[in-house]
Each structure stands twice: as structure tokens, then as C-alpha cells.
């Protein structure tokens, strides 16, 4: 049988590759940093080539490291699953996930049966409360958030880049007071989310009309309520276009054809050490294979 490197060295390599830091990987494996570094070095001696680019407080995979990770990480994860099944510790996988309500209702919940079919023991606790990123590791394993950028101390990956659209009831485009041109907003109420009040500014600047002012601005803290209010003709809502498309509400139309690139995106985020959680890894991989744009 061909000689293999120590499993502890492979485990150390995968953890450093996923976390990007010897210190973080050492904490996850309950080792000292020097001990973990020795395991990495032993694996590099075994394969007779370096696997990382050493940078200040960071370890970045080189091309050889990327190829090795792609080959051994799935096998190591499969080994962990087999051990869990044998010891009885794999009976239940639970993820504590924070997610915006609209994303959950429009894009996530309807697809979860697919995930359950792949992993019958997988369960998710859904949290929709604010300040998700600050609560990672303290009651939350992972979060899906709308943000401009994510703290680089966290692991993050963009799910979708969004655009801003003006939407409302078709009735707003009819009659003597119809809203047909951007200037018509001067006699209209616009609807915005409290956490994304900049969306209207982004949209009006994209049409070179930073001076454009609506008659009034009504604020909401629920995306679904904005959609409902817009459908009832209470104003022109400025929202991410995917929320409009995901609503499948025939009472809503785009008031203007123009859409603007938003500075906001949907992101998946977790603490870097959280990626060692099998439930987090399973959900992360499934999310980007099935839902992410």
C-alpha cells in the first residue's frame, strides 16, 4: 500500500486553507501555532513542494495548494461524515442561520426541500433579527445579509449583485395624474426601506437627476410591507429588482424602465472558524450551487 502523509497534517492543511490563518486554524484544532506550522511543513516535505504563500498574518494557497485542497478536502469531509455516522454523532445537523425575510420567502424556503433530499438529517433554525454580523458565533453560525461590503475579518462570498428599480401599482401610470416621467415624482410619495434609504439616491443619480425630490418619503422596516403598500397604490417603491421579480405579484409593475446598479449585494457570511462546522459547509456549498447568481 502506498505510504500516505499523517492524517493530522492533512487536517491542518485543510483548516489553514479554509481559514487563511495559522492562528485561527490552531485555535480550531486546539493546537499551538508552532505545532500546527510543523504539521503544515511536514506535509509540504511529503509532497516535496510549498503549498502556501506566506504573508504577514496570512497563509494564501498557491496553485499546488489549490489543486491539493480540491482533491483532499472532499475526502476529508467524507471521512468526518463516516466517523460521525459510526459514533452516532452525525444523527442531526443543525444550522443557525440569519436571513432577510424577503430572501427567505422568495429564494430560500421553496428550495430547502432539495437540500433536505440531499441531507435528510439537516435542519435550519431561521433568525430574521437585525445586526446579524455582530452575532455570528454568538447564537448564529452563518448569515445572509444585504450589504455594500463585509468586514474582511469574516469569511464572505457574494451571492448576487442587485439593481434598483422603481415599482408600484399600474394605476399610478393611468389618469390625469399619471407618473410617466421621473419629473412626475415631484407630486408622488416614494417608499423606501429604513436600512436602504440610499436606493432612491442611487437611482436618481444614475439618471443624472440628483436634484429630483419627491413629494414625500415613507419609510418601512419590512420589504414585504413595502411591496404590499406599493401594490395598493400608496407610492412608488424603490427596491432591489430581484425583490420585485421574486414577488410574482401581478399588482406590481415597473414605473420606469430604467434600473440602476446598486451598491448593495446579497452576501453569505460566517466567522472564518465557523467554516469547520459541517452544517455551515454543507449549506454554503449547496447555496452557491443552486441559488446564487
Picking from 167, 169, 218, 227, the residue whose alpha carbon sits closest to that of residue 197 is: 218
CA distances from 54 to 118, 136, 174 (A): 38, 28, 64
The rounded distance, in Å, linking the Cα atoms of 279 and 78 is: 13
User: Are both 166 and 253 inside the same structural domain?
Assistant: yes
- The CATH number for 175's domain is 3.40.190.10
* DSSP result, 17-48: HHHS-HHHHHHHHT--HHHHHHHHHHHHHHHT
Q: What share of the chain is helix, strand, coil (3-state, %, to 5)?
A: 45, 25, 30
**What is residue 289's predicted lDDT score, i.e. its pLDDT?**
93
What is the model's pLDDT at position 189? Answer: 97
> Among residues 87, 104, 119, which one ends one of the domains?
87
What's the pLDDT at 48? 92
Which pLDDT belongs to residue 211? 94
C-alpha cell recorded at residue 63: 496553485
Burial of 293 (0-12, 13-18, 19+ CB in 10 A): exposed
Domain containing residue 38: 7-87
Task: Tell me the CATH number at 26.
Answer: 1.10.10.10
105 in any annotated domain: no
The answer to whether the beta carbons of residues 268 and 80 sit under 8 Å apart is no
Residue 99 resides in a domain: no
In a domain, 248, yes or no: yes
Which pLDDT score, from 0 to 100, does residue 31 have?
80
Does a structural domain hold residue 155?
A: no
Per-residue pLDDT of the chain (293 residues; tens, 9 = 90+): 678 888 899 989 988 888 788 887 887 777 888 888 999 999 999 999 999 998 776 788 999 999 999 888 888 877 776 766 665 555 568 999 999 999 999 999 999 999 999 998 899 999 998 889 988 877 899 999 998 889 888 899 999 888 899 999 999 999 888 999 999 999 999 999 988 889 999 999 999 999 999 999 999 988 899 999 999 999 999 998 888 888 889 999 999 999 898 888 899 999 887 887 889 999 999 999 999 87
Q: Whole-angstrom Cα distance, residue 195 to residue 202? A: 14
List helix spans (H) across 104-211.
112-118, 198-206
Last residue of a domain, one of 38, 54, 87: 87
* Domain contains 231: yes
- Count of the separate structural domains present in the chain: 2
72, 87, 102 - which closes a domain:
87
Cα angle 244, 249, 250 (rounded to 5 degrees) comes to: 120
Instruction: Judge whether 219 and 171 are in contact, CB under 8 Å.
Output: no
pLDDT for position 252? 92
Based on the domain organization, do 76 and 165 belong to the same domain? Answer: no
pLDDT for 81 equals 65
Cell of 73: 478536502
Degrees (nearest 5) of the Cα angle 77, 81, 87?
140
- 275 part of a folded domain: no
Q: Establish if 232 belongs to a structural domain.
A: yes
Question: Considering the domain boundaries, does residue 189 fall inside one?
Answer: yes
Cell, residue 145: 445579509
Q: What are phi and psi of 237, to 5 degrees?
A: -95, 135
**How far, in Å, are 84, 141, 195, 232, 279 from residue 122 at the CA level?**
14, 14, 32, 39, 7
- pLDDT for 90: 52
DSSP-derived letter for residue 83 is H
Amino acid at each position: 500500500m502506498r505510504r500516505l502523509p499523517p492524517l493530522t497534517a492533512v487536517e491542518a492543511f485543510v483548516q489553514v486553507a479554509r481559514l487563511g490563518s495559522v492562528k485561527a486554524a490552531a485555535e480550531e484544532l486546539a493546537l499551538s501555532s508552532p505545532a500546527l506550522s510543523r504539521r503544515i511543513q511536514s506535509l509540504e516535505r511529503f509532497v516535496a513542494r510549498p503549498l502556501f504563500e506566506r504573508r504577514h498574518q496570512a497563509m494564501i494557497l498557491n496553485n499546488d495548494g489549490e489543486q491539493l485542497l480540491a482533491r483532499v478536502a472532499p475526502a476529508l469531509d467524507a471521512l468526518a461524515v463516516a466517523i460521525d455516522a459510526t459514533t452516532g454523532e452525525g444523527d442531526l445537523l443543525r444550522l443557525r442561520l440569519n436571513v432577510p425575510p424577503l430572501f427567505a420567502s422568495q429564494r430560500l424556503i421553496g428550495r430547502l426541500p432539495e437540500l433536505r433530499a440531499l441531507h435528510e438529517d439537516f435542519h435550519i433554525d431561521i433568525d430574521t433579527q437585525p445586526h446579524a454580523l455582530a452575532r455570528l458565533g454568538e447564537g448564529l453560525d452563518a448569515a445572509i445579509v444585504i450589504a455594500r461590503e463585509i468586514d474582511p475579518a469574516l469569511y464572505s462570498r457574494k451571492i448576487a449583485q442587485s439593481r434598483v428599480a422603481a415599482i408600484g401599482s399600474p394605476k399610478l401610470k393611468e389618469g390625469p395624474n399619471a407618473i410617466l416621467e421621473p419629473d412626475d415624482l415631484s407630486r408622488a410619495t416614494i417608499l423606501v426601506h429604513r436600512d436602504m434609504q440610499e436606493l432612491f439616491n442611487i437611482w436618481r443619480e444614475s439618471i443624472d437627476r440628483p436634484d429630483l425630490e419627491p413629494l414625500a418619503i415613507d419609510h418601512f422596516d419590512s420589504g414585504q410591507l413595502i411591496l404590499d403598500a406599493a401594490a395598493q397604490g400608496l407610492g412608488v417603491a424603490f427596491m432591489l429588482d430581484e425583490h420585485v421579480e421574486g414577488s410574482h405579484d401581478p399588482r406590481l409593475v415597473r414605473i420606469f424602465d430604467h434600473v440602476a446598479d446598486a451598491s448593495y449585494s446579497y452576501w453569505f457570511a460566517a466567522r472564518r472558524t465557523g467554516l469547520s462546522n459541517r452544517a455551515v459547509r454543507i449549506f454554503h456549498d449547496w447555496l452557491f450551487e443552486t441559488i446564487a447568481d
